[in-house]
Amino acid sequence: MKAKTVLVPLLAARAASRFRRDEPQQARRSRSGGVLPWAAAGAALGVGAAALAPRPHTTRLAGRVALVTGGSRGLGLSLAREFGERGASVVVCARDGDELDRAVIDLEARGVPARGIRCDVRDPEGAERLVKEAEAAFGHLDFVVNNAGIIQVGPQEVLTEEHFRDAMETMFWAPLRISRAAIGPLSRTGGSLVTITSIGGHLSVPHLLPYSCAKFAEVALSEGLGAELARRGVRVTTVVPGLMRTGSHRAAVFSGNAEREYSWFALGAGLPLVSAGAGHAARRIVEAAARGRPYLVITPLAAAVVAARGLCPSLVQRLMRVMAGVLPGPPEEPAEKRGAEADEGLVNGAVRTAAVLNERAADDLNQEPRHGG
């Protein structure tokens, strides 16, 4: 997808907004259809531009070195595999030592020179140490990928301030510290800083409030660094994935009515027509990083959402209210479970069947095994 994939719908949104401001008030009132045609046009432009985008080329990365945070599972592991497949050496970091060991074994079995560093990216003192160890592992750094993240799902009534702090520490403060620590090594190699943000950084989805707050901040961080680091010779790529089949539903934390929260989240994340495979996403991201592209929106749905929100935020907000109205409310006795434990009951059995590709992705990408199976 070229830069016009994102620019076309956003320019259309801006033009439509200007037209509506210049239009006489009486005409706006009498015009039938209101904002809906504009929203539909913006969404169509987003989908069409993404659909017409050419397939990415494959840039070889022999001799390059990539650090991927949260690289032991999910999209992070898929990214590490893709860097390695193109000839790069890879350093992955994660909190769980056993999970990290499995990831390194997986990469080495594929012929990828790999190192694992156990770390908690939330540790304020850990960023400098992580980057120094990663640089020392193979002598230099060419890519640093801020990928580590957490997903907390539930109505805001049952989420505590600690949920928000944890999300911000993982998906804003950690990328900030790691990015700053990486400026020196990347400026020496003319390297690339890659930040995996989210469509949740452009649209605050109900029952994902801590995640969205952190991702909005992360988008601002990545875009700002992209502008400021160019003079240092560091290229910055802001990645906006849509829904991806990475098996993240098993590691997410569900609060309130945990089983019902799990149902809608796992189904939405895993349906083939609205989500992208992890391998496809990794190929797009690594190619964008190799070419120094400043922005990448991965799925047509994500492009359409970005365009629709830019064109008519009021309409999108109304749709989010509708969505919030049909999601589970806070129960009298809220519970908190990880996805691997919340996957219970007949409904979630049907969800597993409908989202079977996501279940396979979870098994392939080192995600937590499903409770009881």
> Annotated catalytic sites, by residue?
211
Q: Number of helices and strands (H, E) in the chain?
A: 16, 12
- Alpha-carbon span 14 to 211, nearest angstrom: 27
Strand order in the sheet with 152-153: 152-153, 253-256, 335-338
**How many CB atoms are closer than 10 A to CB 249?**
33
In contact, 270 and 98? CB cutoff 8 Å: no
Residue in 272, 268, 260 with CA at minimum distance from that of residue 343: 260
Tokens encoding 363: 């098994």
Q: Which residues pair with 114 in a beta bridge?
A: 90
Helix, strand, coil abundance in the chain, percent, nearest 5:
60, 15, 30
Phi, psi at 271, each rounded to 5°: -70, 130
In contact, 3 and 295? CB cutoff 8 Å: yes
State the pairing for strand pair 89-94/152-153. unpaired
Phi, psi at 180, each rounded to 5°: -65, -40
In contact, 237 and 294? CB cutoff 8 Å: yes
In contact, 154 and 198? CB cutoff 8 Å: no
In contact, 208 and 243? CB cutoff 8 Å: no
- Give CA torsion, residues 70, 76, 81, 83, to 10 deg: -90
Q: Which residues pair with 329 in a beta bridge?
A: none
- Alpha-carbon span 74 to 147, nearest angstrom: 10
- Alpha-carbon span 77 to 248, nearest angstrom: 12
- Alpha-carbon span 67 to 114, nearest angstrom: 10
